[in-house]
């Protein structure tokens, strides 16, 4: 598989099989992903992996706990156009594939809660960053995560990046033993897509090139 094919095939999976993913494979892909660009070679990512042996304990650890305030705004307050429409359309398309109408609030909340089970993936990772880091280092973090997910795609492993985990920041930090100076950015569900799950047929749309790219000519 070349890079172009990996980019085209990678998509966020929201229903996983229980097929195991070897810890050694995850370690290898993380080490390769660390070749991602990093300004000044700072390498700000800090990764904690929840494997098959740890997952039941982690999910039990969440039970009965309350969600927390995220350490950052997942979306800017009062999201404006065209970004607001992009986000809204994806949500509507997802719930349509699930057969959950807008008026079924319980059904929608039920699906949202599946985020916090890694959509039943056998492996999940949490990505933290030092609280003192700024936007350039957050950019490094994004490039690291994309590199990791493309490497997973190359190996036939599916993923779903999940900023939704930010609302469990303190609980996750307590479980994985992250120090106070590290802040949770996101989780990533890792495993193999359930081919029979309708939600996995969803492929988000992208705005046309001319709406966001300008080729400067003088």
Strand partners, 12: 159
Per residue in 118-143, pLDDT (tens digit) is: 999 999 999 999 999 999 999 999 99
Spatial contact of 49 and 23, defined as CB atoms under 8 Å apart: yes
Local structure of 151: helix, strand or coil: helix
Q: What is the pLDDT of residue 54?
A: 96
Q: What percent of the chain has pLDDT over 70?
A: 100
Closest CA to 161 of 170, 169, 152: 152
Tokens 């985990």 -> residue: 165
Token pair 């705004």 in the structure block, residue: 73
pLDDT class for 111, splitting at 50, 70, 90?
A: confident
pTM: 0.94
In this predicted structure, the answer to whether residue 109 has a pLDDT above a threshold of 90 is no
Q: What is the DSSP letter of 132?
A: T
């Amino acid at each position: 598989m070349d890079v172009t094919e990996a980019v085209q095939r990678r998509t966020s999976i929201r229903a996983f099989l229980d097929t195991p993913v070897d810890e050694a494979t995850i370690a290898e892909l993380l080490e390769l992903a660390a070749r991602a660009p990093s300004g000044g070679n700072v390498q700000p990512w800090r990764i904690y992996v929840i494997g098959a042996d740890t997952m039941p304990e982690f999910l039990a650890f969440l039970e009965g706990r309350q969600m927390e305030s995220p350490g950052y705004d997942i979306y800017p307050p009062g999201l404006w156009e065209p970004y607001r429409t992009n986000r809204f359309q994806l949500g509507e398309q997802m719930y349509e594939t699930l057969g959950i109408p807008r008026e079924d609030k319980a059904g929608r909340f039920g699906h949202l809660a599946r985020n916090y089970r890694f959509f039943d993936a056998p492996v999940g990772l949490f990505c933290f960053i030092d609280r003192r880091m700024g936007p350039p280092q957050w950019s490094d973090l994004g490039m690291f995560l994309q590199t990791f997910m493309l490497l997973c795609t190359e190996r036939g492993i599916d993923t779903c990046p999940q900023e939704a985990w930010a609302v469990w920041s303190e609980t996750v930090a307590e479980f994985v033993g992250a120090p106070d100076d590290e802040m949770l950015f996101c989780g990533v569900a890792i495993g193999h897509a359930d081919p029979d799950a309708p939600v996995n047929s969803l492929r988000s749309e992208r705005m046309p090139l001319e709406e966001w790219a300008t080729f400067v000519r003088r």
